[in-house]
Amino acid sequence: MSSPAQAPVALYTPEQRRRRDATRWTLVQGLLAPLQFLVFAVSLGLVLRYLVTGEGFGLATASIILKTVLLYTIMVTGCIWEKVVFDVWLFAPAFFWEDVFSMLVLALHTAYLLALWQGALGARGQMWLALAAYATYVINAGQFLLKLRAARLQSDAERRRTSIPDGTGLGAATAGAAR
């Protein structure tokens, strides 16, 4: 005998969703994330160009530094966003694993900056370290995109649930409130 399917755990409570939608930090994250991705894509091309041709070390380095500054910025603003929405600065249950993996992303980007500053690893080694940092960034970005999709699906399901007539002529939301 099969058990009934459990409803997925909601990403946001109604209050958290209200805070998410009301805070300017949601917009800040929504602007910084695609900007960071654009810088990443350009930087990735520059890093690969350097590794293949040996040309453009300065430009590749500058692009990695810019990408890292954007990463730090999105992390700080993301912490503020989590505090506003979930009342914790980091590791909110809804974003725990994304935040854990973000720590690895930060560690590798920071290791790159330290290697650059100390002149460690040589130019090619620094570029390979940047690529490792970028690989973790891509995984982490994927985690957040999946979470964004889950939030949209949750919102869509809630809208459908509250707009489907229940035979009373009042709609499910009104009927639910009357019970």
- pLDDT in 10s for each residue of the chain, 179 residues: 444 455 556 788 889 999 999 999 999 999 999 999 999 999 999 999 999 999 999 999 999 999 999 999 999 999 999 999 999 999 999 889 899 999 999 999 999 999 999 999 999 999 999 999 999 999 999 998 898 888 788 777 777 777 665 555 444 443 333 33
Q: pTM to 2 decimals?
A: 0.79
Residue 114 forms part of a structural domain: yes
How many separate domains does the chain show? Answer: 1
Residue 115 forms part of a structural domain: yes
Residue 4 forms part of a structural domain: no
Q: Are 29 and 78 a contacting pair, CB within 8 Å?
A: yes
Residue 176 forms part of a structural domain: no
Residue type at position 178: A
Residue 2 forms part of a structural domain: no
- Domain containing residue 26: 14-160
Residue 102 forms part of a structural domain: yes
Residue 116 forms part of a structural domain: yes
Cα–Cα distances in angstroms (integers) from residue 57 to residues 96, 114, 126, 160, 172, in the given order: 36, 17, 10, 53, 61
As a whole number of angstroms, the distance between CA 176 and CA 179 comes to 5
Residue 177 forms part of a structural domain: no
